[in-house]
């Protein structure tokens, strides 16, 4: 059963990144290899603008499940962008045991 809108079927193989909360996305990032994150990034970054335009057709408080999954997928893309583009590793360099916890999510 597809999680994403049909227009984004090419990203369906990355639907395990459709995670609703920041802690879930962060845990997925830490559990993923750089190769896995790079593959996700390479497939999703060219579709980011398309996803934003597509998502703008809907009211934020009334998203269909497949559109909500697309939003979560793009939030995961943000989560992997710095590791892929800058750090070349899943963890923040030189951060030791630092941890920040998000109290609220940007999308309900």
The tokens describing 10, both together, are 């090419």
Q: Of residues 47 and 104, which shows the higher confidence score?
A: 47
Q: For the chain, what is the mean pLDDT?
A: 90
In the prediction, which pLDDT does 99 show?
58
What stretches of the chain adopt beta strand conformation (E)? none
**pLDDT confidence band for 97 (50 / 70 / 90):** low
Its sign, for the CA torsion 17, 19, 25, 31, is: negative
Residue ranges per structural domain of the chain: 23-87
């Amino acid at each position: 059963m597809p999680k994403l809108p049909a227009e984004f079927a090419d990203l369906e193989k990355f639907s395990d990144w459709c995670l609703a909360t920041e802690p879930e996305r962060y845990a997925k990032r830490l559990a993923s290899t750089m190769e896995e994150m790079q593959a996700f990034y390479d497939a999703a970054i060219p579709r980011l603008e398309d996803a934003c335009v597509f998502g703008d057709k809907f009211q934020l408080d009334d998203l269909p499940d497949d559109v909500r999954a697309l939003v979560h997928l793009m939030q995961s893309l943000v989560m992997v962008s710095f590791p892929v583009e800058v750090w070349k590793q899943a963890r923040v360099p030189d951060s030791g045991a630092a941890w920040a916890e998000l109290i609220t999510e940007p999308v309900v």
